[in-house]
Amino acid sequence: MTSAPSAAQTGEGGPPAGSFPDHVAIIMDGNGRWAKSRNLPRAVGHERGVEALRRTVEAAQDVGLKNLTVYSFSTENWRRPVSEVNALFGLLKAYVKRDLDRLAREGVRVRILGTRKGLPDDIRELVDRAEARTEANSKFNLCIAFNYGGREEIVRAVQKAAKSLSDGSLNPDTLDEESFEQFLDTSEVPDPDIVIRTSGEYRLSNFLIWQAAYAELVFMDVLWPDFGKEHLIEAIETFQKRERRFGGLASGAA
Ligand code: IPE
Ligand code: IPE
Ligand code: MG
């Protein structure tokens, strides 16, 4: 969903500096380095990463955020050793199994972004169950990008759009950005206002490449297993000091 307000809505640029974000998205990076620096196996870093995820979901609810998206396995992460891929799948399973009841009770709607293709059957069933179980919830949206790649998502969206064009439910002449977005995995979620990446890397690694077109990027040195509420607040405060212009002019510049 396009969340950037039009220039007509805002006068010149976007919402005034200081406004609270609707949606924060996080590239949870640095588990391996966290483990390495302690001479521990990478899998331990991933385990501690799940604890950081749990803390962050709670912190996001506490600070009054409505939408949180986390990048937990990319379509490129298949390039890692099978043992690591299996460990990451096992952790997703454990997270959903352990937290789903509580999340459902707390009014959290869980969505899994990404392709189901290539996922083992048990994981596919689990993610379908998590989505179905929380479908009626609307207090807080938690999107987990798992087996997710921004380019893959766009190609899949184009395939869906092509089907709608050929069955006549979509008119090629009226297809525009807004109507295209219904085919993305995030169709019911606003665009992220902030994309945080931990671990001191400065890239998107194929994360939300359509949706983050106007996101404020916040790069933090903290390794993901050490991330907590204070880092989330720091990122939101950084965002609040930025001036978003969405291609318009700074307020008072005209
Ligand atoms: C992030 O930590 C988790 C995933 C990518 C699944 P990494 O495993 O990438 O940790 P580093 O970047 O090697 O430290
Ligand atoms: C991005 O991190 C993917 C996730 C956090 C799930 P990576 O560690 O895989 O990214 P690169 O390889 O450093 O770009
Ligand atoms: Mg990494």
- By CB atoms closer than 10 A (0-12, 13-18, 19+), residue 230 is exposed
The residues with which 141 forms a beta bridge, in sequence order, are 67, 109
130-175: pLDDT as tens digits: 999 999 999 999 999 999 999 999 999 999 999 999 999 999 999 9
Which of 22, 77, 137, 226 is catalytic? The answer is 77
pLDDT reported for residue 251: 80
Domains of the chain, with CATH numbers? 18-151+191-240 (3.40.1180.10)
State the pLDDT confidence band at 17, using cuts at 50, 70 and 90. low
pLDDT reported for residue 99: 98
Residue 216 Cα to ligand 1 midpoint, Å, equals 22
pLDDT reported for residue 4: 46
For residue 34, give the ligand 1 atom closest to its CA.
14
Mark whether 121 is an active-site residue.
Answer: no
Q: Which strands, in side-by-side order, build the sheet including 108-113? A: 108-113, 140-148, 67-74, 23-27, 194-197, 216-219
The best mutation among 77, 79, 219, 227 to test binding of ligand 2, ranked by most ligand atoms within 8 Å of the C-beta, falls on 77
Distance in angstroms (rounded) separating the CA atoms of residues 30 and 201: 9
What proportion of the chain, given as a percentage, has pLDDT over 90? 91
List phi, psi (to 5°) of 146. Answer: -135, 125
**Model pTM score:** 0.94
Q: Is 88 in the pocket of ligand 1 (CB under 6 A)?
A: yes
Of the listed ranges 40-54, 111-125, 221-235, 239-253, the least confidently predicted one is: 239-253
Q: Is 198 in the pocket of ligand 2 (CB under 6 A)?
A: no
Mark whether 29 is an active-site residue.
Answer: yes
Residue 14 has pLDDT above 70, yes or no: no
Q: Is 205 in the pocket of ligand 1 (CB under 6 A)?
A: no
**What is Dmax (Cα atoms) for the chain?**
59
Tallying the residues shown for the chain, one arrives at 254
For residue 201, give the ligand 1 atom closest to its CA.
12
Which of 29, 99, 185, 191 is catalytic? The answer is 29
State the pLDDT confidence band at 109, using cuts at 50, 70 and 90. very high
What average pLDDT does range 36-56 have in this prediction? Answer: 98
Distance in angstroms (rounded) separating the CA atoms of residues 131 and 135: 6
Residue 74 Cα to ligand 2 midpoint, Å, equals 7
Residue 231 has pLDDT above 50, yes or no: yes
pLDDT reported for residue 11: 38
pLDDT reported for residue 6: 37
| Number of the ligand closest to the Cα of 33 | 1
206-223: pLDDT as tens digits: 999 999 999 999 999 999
Q: Are 150 and 184 in contact (CB under 8 A)?
A: no
pLDDT reported for residue 3: 47
What sign has the CA pseudo-torsion 49, 214, 68, 148?
A: negative
69-91: pLDDT as tens digits: 999 999 999 999 999 999 999 99
What average pLDDT does range 82-108 have in this prediction? Answer: 97
What average pLDDT does range 110-123 have in this prediction? Answer: 97
